[in-house]
Amino acid sequence: MAQSKTFYITTPIYYPSGKLHIGNAYTTLYCDVLKRYKSLQGFDTYYLTGMDEHGKKVETSAEAAGIPAQDHVDKIAQETKDLWALMDIEYDDFIRTTEKRHKTVVQTFFEQLLKQKDIYLGHYEGHYCMHCESFFTDTQVGEDHLCPDCGRPTQTLKEESYFLKLSKYEKKLHDFIVDHPDFIQPESRRNEVLAFIESGLNDLSVSRTTFDWGIKVVSDPKHVVYVWLDALTNYVSALGVLDQDPMLYDKYWNGDEVLHVVGKDILRFHAIYWPIMLMALDIPITFKLYAHGWYMMKDGKMSKSKGGAIYPEPFIHRYGLDAMRYYMIRELPFGSDGLFAPDAFLERLNFDLANDFGNLLNRSIAMVNQYFGGEVTQKNAPTDVDAALEKKIESTVQDYDALMDAYKPAEAVQVVFSLISRANKYIDETTPWVLAKDPAAKDTLENVLYHLLEALRVIGTLLQPVMHDSSQQLFKDLNVDEDATVFAARIYGFKPVYRVAKTVTPLFPRLDVAQELDALKSATTQEAPKKEGIPIKAEITIDDFAKLDLRVGVITACKAHENADRLLVSTVDLGEEKPRQIVSGIAGHYTPEAMVGKKVIVVANLKPVKLRGELSEGMLLAGSNDETLEVVELDRLNPGDLVK
């Protein structure tokens, strides 16, 4: 027998910084869907997920919780596994960076890179963003010393540090990306990475001496390995890359298809640092990288703080797992952001799942029972309408496969639902209840019902990776054996005879949206996070404060910054002749539409600067903590009014 092709798929490993929300859960679900699809296709699959448990942020949040860091990460790792069990995620391995099997690999790699002088000791003086755990240059942070990635204030730090020679591999990586057009997807992200490399790579600081919670550098233990170098290694440490007989590594890393799935915010780490590490270690770059967009809420970014995140559990408990899996997959198109809105969720449940899908199954089975005592056989008298449905089944399977093979489950699911609509329309076109009144049309009627059951069977097989339980229920209702649910069976006419169940329980109930929205309110909120002890800055006098000219402004327009994911460019009316343009690091927290109309406080006498090429003539005031950021808003004042 021919050896199956292999498919190795990975999620990012999650920070144990709190309860995971639907944004985090999305990546894991997406990988689960692809893994299930590939398994059905006959691939030998391996799915890795896990936790990224080191770093200053974790140390700080454990301190805030008043427990040892290891206890803290143990607790969150367990909660995360519980969530994956609830979501029926079929992962094969769950790696934790605090595990010995991982630490050893990180330490060995580090020493190897040191020995071959790809890592060297130097000093780092720069602007450090604690949130992103990254250093930035003067140009990157601009005059305001704001992190170019997240917009938060940076601190100036000087420390002894080891560096990885990114510059040495710059050209090689650039060539690799050019030579492998599908290495980074979607293409827009690939272009971003190429542009970033073309702007020149600085060597990367890859060790820290300012905290302890990390993997120690063996030859210089006052240093811990930079959390990203540590974390990225998980993709091969979990496969036992340095084992004497690295079976999993040989099979899956050096196998047929390897896919790292990441959110757009962590693209650079995976598209630049990770491949360079591999090049330096002489490990082949076998993976492809897909960077997906983000789930947003109606008023902006999802966050773990109060009122700012949606968690999967209440939806699953109340509406069932498949409704949640369907919505989460369906609403995030390839490469774009998506909206998670409870009302839209309920409406999809009603329209797509209860009306279109559930009803198609109920009606079809009810008619087979009513008109044929539950049993129908294929008849050979197809009409044009039948041929059209048969063709639709065929094209659906083709389109679906092409989309799934291109890692586009949202689009693939839409194709299946268009077949569901087509089958419902087929019922209207063929009017079985009219045919039933005419004894001469018995065969025609049987033929119609047979077509419906075949369409449903194929729909069930296509929906398996996303809605496993509902598909199984459907197979049970149709009384279909496993051999008629496999890949090769996805053709019209595969199953010649049906004996369906006598009754069916509706797959999805129809819901009262208003009533459910009330019930769901508590699902979108969570306690405020604990305050971290940020020291108060040095004392100032009232004269120091008086230097600030704070004014009320109204945002009249707002757009995303073309060259920076985290920045929004607002047009602000300060009651002056000409509105000002202000660039702010708030894109992760607000959509441009949500900003328009806000009455904000502007630092009006701040020296104008260019932020990633866009002029910024002032600054908006906002409050923030580790998780969220809120722009300060006013209500009754007018543009130009003073704030003192």
Contact residues: ligand MSP, CB under 6 A: 12-15, 23-24, 26-27, 52, 231-232, 234, 262-263, 265-266, 294-295, 302
> Nearest CA to 449 among 365, 359, 357, 362?
365
Kindly state the smallest distance separating residue 109's Cβ from ligand MSP, in Å: 14
CB of 294 to ligand MSP, least distance (A): 4
Q: How far is the CB of 328 from ligand MSP (least distance, A)?
A: 10
Which residue number, 34 or 231, has a Cβ lying nearer to ligand MSP? Answer: 231
Give whichever of 13 and 449 is closer to ligand MSP, judged by the CB atom. Answer: 13
Considering the complex, state which of residue 136 and residue 295 has its C-beta at the smaller distance from ligand MSP.
Answer: 295
Indicate the residue among 265 and 516 with the shorter CB distance to ligand MSP: 265
Cβ closest to ligand MSP, residue 579 vs residue 585 = 585
Q: How far is CA 293 from CA 338, 431, 626, in A?
A: 7, 43, 21
At closest approach, how far in Å is the CB of 232 from ligand MSP?
A: 5
Whole-number minimum distance, CB 1 to ligand MSP, in Å? 36
**Contacting residues for 311 by C-beta, under 8 A, at least 6 apart:** 19, 20, 21, 22, 523, 526
What is the rounded distance in angstroms from the CA atom of residue 470 to the CA atom of residue 457?
12
The beta strands (E) that lie in 547-626 are given as 550-560, 568-573, 580-584, 599-603, 609-611, 614-616, 619-620, 622-624
Strands 204-205 and 134-136: unpaired
- SS3 assignment, position 271: helix
**What's the min distance (Å) between Cβ of 266 and ligand MSP?**
5
Please return the burial class of 544, using the count of CB atoms within 10 Å of its CB with bins 0-12, 13-18 and 19+: exposed
Looking at the Cβ atoms of 134 and 571, the one nearer to ligand MSP is: 134
Looking at the Cβ atoms of 336 and 472, the one nearer to ligand MSP is 336
Please state the closest distance from residue 262 (CB atom) to ligand MSP, in A. 5
Residue 61 Cβ, how far from ligand MSP at the closest point, in Å?
12
- Beta 599-603 vs 550-560: how paired, if at all? antiparallel
**Cα end-to-end span (Å), the chain:** 79
Consecutive H or E run containing 301? strand 300-301
Q: Give, as one character, the DSSP assignment of residue 506.
A: -
**Residue whose CB is less far from ligand MSP, 316 or 368:** 316
Q: Toward ligand MSP, which CB reaches closer, 589 or 598? A: 589
What's the maximum distance between 2 C-alpha atoms anywhere in the chain? 98
Residue 491: closest CA among 527, 457, 444, 534: 457
Beta carbon of residue 483, minimum distance to ligand MSP (angstroms, whole number) = 38
Task: Give yes or no for a contact between 38 and 45, defined as CB atoms under 8 angstroms apart.
Answer: yes
Report the residue number whose CB is nearest to ligand MSP.
Answer: 263
CB of 106: closest distance to ligand MSP in angstroms?
12
- Of 268 and 457, which CB lies nearer to ligand MSP in the complex structure? 268
Q: Which of 433, 53, 22 is nearest to 215 (CA)?
A: 53
CA 278 vs CA 74, 112, 255, 259, 286: distances in Å: 29, 12, 16, 15, 10
Q: Which is nearer to ligand MSP, 87 or 511 (CB)?
A: 87
Q: Please give the Cα distance from 263 to 27 (Å, whole number).
A: 7
Closest approach, Cβ 101 to ligand MSP, in A, equals 16
Shortest CA distance to 80 belongs to which of 58, 55, 54, 49?
49
Q: How far is the CB of 326 from ligand MSP (least distance, A)?
A: 17
Judged by beta carbon, residue 184 or residue 459, the one nearer ligand MSP is 184
Sheet of strand 338-339: strand arrangement = 300-301, 295-297, 338-339
**Nearest-angstrom CA–CA distance, 224 and 215:** 5
Q: How far, in Å, CA of 275 to CA of 282, rounded?
A: 10
